[in-house]
Structure 1
Amino acid sequence: NAENLTFRGIEAEVKRLALRAREGEITVDEMTGGTFTITNGGIFGSMLSTPIINPPQSAILGMHNIVERPIAIDGAIAVAPIMYVAVSYDHRIIDGKESVGFLVAIKEALENPEELLMDGNVKKALEM
């Protein structure tokens, strides 16, 4: 029911499930019924990979290590933190155009989190 939760609600549910899993108390019902997975190989130093879908889910988003890299900005070379993301999806359910649009939305959200979390209100973000 993630579509009905706020970001804080999702975070609380992830923490709750992780704790139950670590304690060996998670149930099969709590581990089934998902349609999408986010995997973070970056915490282990992964630079890039192609995540594999967990059937019967429709897609999986792989997030990787954040590393400072040279990039071109307005014709000049600069160093900035870069993270690769990859999405694998069931092409019977999701078209390539939608998957690219999703990745663009993820990129924009990661580059401008205050826009997503605080409706663009940086002052509100700092108050929290």
Structure 2
Amino acid sequence: MEASEILKQTTILFVEDDLIVRMALVKFLKRRCKGVIEAENGRIALELFIEHRPDVVITDLEMPVMGGLELIDRIIEYDDKQAIIITTAYDDLKHKHSKVRAHLIKPIDSENLLETIISCRKK
């Protein structure tokens, strides 16, 4: 299957507390993916995950209310095979999680993001 077809069949939950970053990347993804759901923190994201069961979760780590690492732990309780991508400004072991399929360092390159989503869907 071609990359564009994979994206057209993919639903994304995008979790980011920075409104400007979230708006820009959600707009970019909506033009390419089947559906994009957005959340500003982990608590809201968990509710949306349970309701919608997206194909891929893309989450920031440092957020108010519930951070990305706690969100990942909670998602894995529901589905330990869930495709999860972390976005972070840090490249260190403190900001890693064994159940995550990919780590993207901010600022996020949009084409790299698409390639990472496609890679997650192929696994």
Which TM class, normalised by the smaller chain length? 0.3 to 0.5
Q: TM-score, normalised by structure 2?
A: 0.32
Q: TM-score, normalised by structure 1?
A: 0.32
Higher Cα radius of gyration: 1
